[in-house]
């Protein structure tokens, strides 16, 4: 069977210095590669001490056919707005590596600015249908006052289909998409080979785990303050393990909470899986998320989740696998106390979600909309 030739455009994608950057987009690319002949173009815009440094390279380490348009400089943030420059470099890359642009059947962009707009320019110039996948938590801000907001609206008009990682984000997209039937929900991929169930070992104290890149809109202070109250007013013995880096870590340390907090720094997926298996609960406080992969990863290990009312939480959290908290300290206190007193069936939690977010499942969802375009 002939595979659909797909040009996959993203500014968010893993790179050597940050292998987790945009990893969820790479996993989408991997799921599409199961049925399509996919070529990834990664616009890699980074800070450097030079005024400007441009390189057009092929990524020899990637299992997927991947090319990079590397733009580095002191004023790197301005390069995100320099869309004519980016499109010019795209054409140079196509020519340099002799990519036959007329053979591509679909251009698939990710995140409306700037990839969606670049994808639209490619779509219109070369008359290729466009699919767009949205992940962005800054969508409302972008369409509020951004210089390119009109171009962003044109992206949604131009697309044959728009995919959303959650029902939550779909409802946000409806504000800006005239034809809502274009929007299809395709979640992020969870690697079930890396996140899986193991029987939990009983401990003398409750173990909480929090995993994130600790910058806004993450808000760990909902559960941190709640735990301070629980520590002061109850006999519950617990520890909190915090995984990840970010500017909120120092702020947390400076508050000198009276209970045991272990700052574990960066951990890879295998290490996070082990920590989840050894924990009684995952905690996630946040003011805004479009999906939140760690929620699903935790459930795959059978770990109950105590989480803000964000992202995919409202679609998959139920009384058997965790609780959803309003973002105020009192509700977090009550929900954490409630959860500690519950008897969760950890295996049942893992079994309920098993296979729903694996690469084959997500691949079949993408293939369905690809076939609607290419038939």
* CA separation for the pair 334, 261 (Å, rounded): 21
- Classified as helix, coil or strand, 90 is helix
In this prediction, residue 106 carries a pLDDT of 98
Quick one: which of 81, 101, 126 has its CA closest to 41?
101
β-strands 281-284, 260-265 pairing: unpaired
Neighbour-count burial for 224-256, b at 16+ CB within 10 Å, e otherwise: bbbbbebbeeeeeebbbbbbbeeebbeebeeee
* Contact by Cβ (8 Å): 113, 147: no
Q: Which ranges of the chain does DSSP label H, i.e. alpha helix?
A: 23-32, 76-81, 83-96, 117-126, 139-145, 149-158, 167-173, 221-233, 248-255, 269-277, 293-300, 313-316, 329-340, 346-353, 359-374
Token representation of residue 333: 């206190």
* CA separation for the pair 20, 269 (Å, rounded): 10
CB count within 10 Å of CB 37 equals: 15
In this prediction, residue 201 carries a pLDDT of 86
* CA separation for the pair 37, 179 (Å, rounded): 29
In this prediction, residue 1 carries a pLDDT of 63
CB count within 10 Å of CB 157 equals: 12
Kindly report the pTM of this predicted structure: 0.92
Give the 3-state secondary structure of 258-294: CCEEEEEECCCHHHHHHHHHCCCEEEECECCCCCCHH
Rounded to 5 degrees, φ, ψ at 144 are: -80, -45
In this prediction, residue 63 carries a pLDDT of 84
* CA separation for the pair 188, 174 (Å, rounded): 20
- Classified as helix, coil or strand, 316 is helix
Collect all residues with Cβ–Cβ distance below 8 Å to 298 and sequence separation of at least 6. 195, 209, 276, 282, 304, 305
* CA separation for the pair 314, 297 (Å, rounded): 16
In this prediction, residue 206 carries a pLDDT of 96
* Contact by Cβ (8 Å): 291, 188: yes
- Classified as helix, coil or strand, 198 is coil
* CA separation for the pair 216, 249 (Å, rounded): 12
CB count within 10 Å of CB 197 equals: 20
In this prediction, residue 21 carries a pLDDT of 84
β-strands 322-325, 36-47 pairing: unpaired
The secondary structure of 11-23 as a DSSP string is S---BTTBTTTTH
Q: Print pLDDT tens along the chain (375 aa).
A: 679 999 999 999 988 777 788 999 999 999 999 999 999 999 999 999 999 999 999 987 778 999 999 999 999 999 999 999 999 999 999 999 999 999 999 999 999 999 999 999 999 999 999 999 999 999 999 999 899 999 999 999 999 999 999 999 999 999 999 999 999 999 999 998 999 999 998 888 999 999 999 999 999 999 999 999 999 999 899 999 999 999 999 999 999 999 999 999 999 999 999 999 999 999 999 999 999 999 999 999 999 999 999 989 999 999 999 999 999 999 999 999 999 999 999 999 999 999 999 999 999 999 999 999 998
* CA separation for the pair 306, 284 (Å, rounded): 6
- Classified as helix, coil or strand, 229 is helix
In this prediction, residue 7 carries a pLDDT of 98
């Amino acid at each position: 069977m002939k595979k659909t030739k797909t040009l996959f455009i993203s500014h968010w994608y893993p790179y050597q210095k940050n292998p987790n950057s945009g990893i969820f987009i790479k996993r989408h690319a991997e799921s599409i590669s199961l049925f399509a002949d996919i070529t990834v173009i990664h616009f890699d815009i980074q800070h450097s001490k030079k005024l400007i440094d441009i390189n057009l390279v092929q990524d020899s380490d990637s299992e997927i056919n991947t090319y990079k348009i590397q733009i580095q400089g002191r004023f790197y943030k301005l390069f995100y707005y320099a869309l004519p420059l980016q499109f010019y470099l795209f054409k140079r890359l196509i020519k340099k590596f002799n990519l036959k642009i007329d053979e591509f059947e679909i251009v698939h962009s990710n995140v409306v600015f700037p990839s969606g707009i670049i994808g639209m320019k490619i779509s219109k110039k070369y008359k290729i249908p466009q699919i767009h996948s949205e992940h962005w938590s800054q969508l409302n801000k972008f369409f509020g006052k951004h210089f390119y907001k009109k171009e962003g609206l044109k992206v949604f008009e131009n697309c044959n289909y728009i995919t959303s990682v959650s029902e939550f984000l779909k409802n946000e997209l409806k504000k800006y998409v005239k034809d809502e039937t274009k929007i299809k929900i395709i979640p992020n991929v969870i690697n079930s080979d890396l996140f899986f169930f193991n029987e939990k070992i009983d401990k003398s104290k409750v173990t909480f785990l929090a995993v994130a890149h600790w910058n806004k809109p993450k808000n760990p202070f909902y559960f941190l303050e709640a735990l301070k109250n629980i520590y002061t007013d109850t006999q519950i013995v617990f520890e909190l393990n915090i995984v990840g880096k970010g500017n909120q870590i120092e702020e947390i340390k400076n508050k000198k909470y009276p209970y045991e907090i272990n700052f574990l720094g960066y951990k890879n997926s295998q290490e996070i899986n082990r920590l989840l298996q050894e924990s009684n609960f995952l905690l996630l406080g946040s003011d805004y998320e479009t999906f939140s992969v760690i929620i699903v990863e935790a459930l795959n290990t059978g770990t109950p989740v105590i989480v803000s009312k964000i992202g995919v939480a409202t679609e998959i959290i139920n009384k058997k696998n965790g609780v959803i908290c309003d973002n105020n300290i009192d509700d977090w206190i009550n929900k954490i106390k409630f959860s500690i007193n519950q008897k969760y069936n950890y295996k049942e939690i893992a079994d309920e979600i098993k296979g729903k977010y694996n690469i084959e499942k997500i691949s079949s969802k993408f293939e369905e909309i690809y076939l609607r375009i290419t038939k």
